[in-house]
Amino acid sequence: MAASIDIREEAGVRTLHFGSDWVQGAMRIARPWNLELEYTREMMASLLLREGGGIAAGNPPAYSSRVLREDSRFPRKVLLIGLGAASLTKFLYRNFPLAKLTVVEIEPAVVAAARQFFKLPEDPKRLKIVIGDGVEFVINSDKTWDLILVDGFDADARAGALDTPAFYLAARSRLSDSGIMAVNLLSRRRSFKDSVERIRTAFEGRALAFPSCDSGNVIALAAAGDPVRITLGDLKEQASALKQATGLNLLPTLARLEQAQTCAGGVLEL
């Protein structure tokens, strides 16, 4: 990474930059475990697609974080490509204590900044940090993950080889039978629709893109293994339970998804 790392603070929010005004991560200082940026919250919609993704099967929507923490079956193994300000990593670490997290970050200085300025935990038993290229890591790995989160950009907001058919095919092969992948794309780039099509092709059509966030980010979700079929009503119940347990409110995201008529017949299928 040629650009230097720049840490800024304004109105109680600390942000990470790679030598430009482009925000690569953010943390509200008073709430360091929360997801400050809208696109990071939308990436967590992946948790709603599998049974036990933050809520216990068979329980009504109104139950405590204690139930969530003791019965969080999905995800158990998570791979995060790109660390940034560690927002996604910290959210999963705090709210899914049974999950083992692996983070691949190409720039050692980003890891150092996340530890110094963004409260990245040090817990080798649950959180493994790998300094390396995310594409090479996935292609060369023999492990599988329940959830793969891809959020890697350079100083010019380019995803590079992370946005290629080879990477998406490799990621699909590394997902478990209940595996879900969430990818952060940028709608300001003409190529974002091409990116979505590359994901769909790699996952044999089992992918969808959320409507663009106000920030210009587009989140694409893709599934491997067991089919996903869940009504918007059930998704809303899951989201309400997740909100009560973690404070994360995905109901606005689901409302946008419903308004966009992305899910035929009110059913999300992947």
Predicted confidence pLDDT, tens digits, the chain (270 residues): 445 899 999 999 999 998 788 888 999 999 999 999 999 999 999 999 987 655 543 333 333 343 344 444 689 999 999 999 999 999 999 999 999 999 999 999 999 999 999 999 999 999 999 999 999 999 999 999 999 999 987 655 666 789 999 999 999 999 999 999 999 997 665 668 899 999 999 999 999 998 777 667 899 999 999 999 999 999 999 999 999 989 999 999 998 888 877 777 889 999
SS3 243: helix
Contact (CB, 8 A) for 104 and 130: yes
- Report pLDDT for 125: 95
Which residues make Cβ contacts (< 8 Å) with residue 140, sequence separation at least 6?
Answer: none
Phi, psi at residue 235, to the nearest 5°? -60, -40
Contact (CB, 8 A) for 242 and 250: yes
Query: 21: exposed, middle or buried (C-beta count within 10 Å: 0-12, 13-18, 19+)?
Result: exposed
Q: What are the sequence ranges of the domains in the chain?
A: 33-256
SS3 125: coil
Name the CATH topology of 33-256: Rossmann fold (3.40.50)
- Report pLDDT for 182: 97
Strand ranges (E), the chain: 6-10, 13-17, 23-28, 77-81, 100-105, 127-131, 145-150, 175-186, 207-209, 217-223, 229-231, 267-269
Q: 0.85 exceeded by the pTM?
A: yes
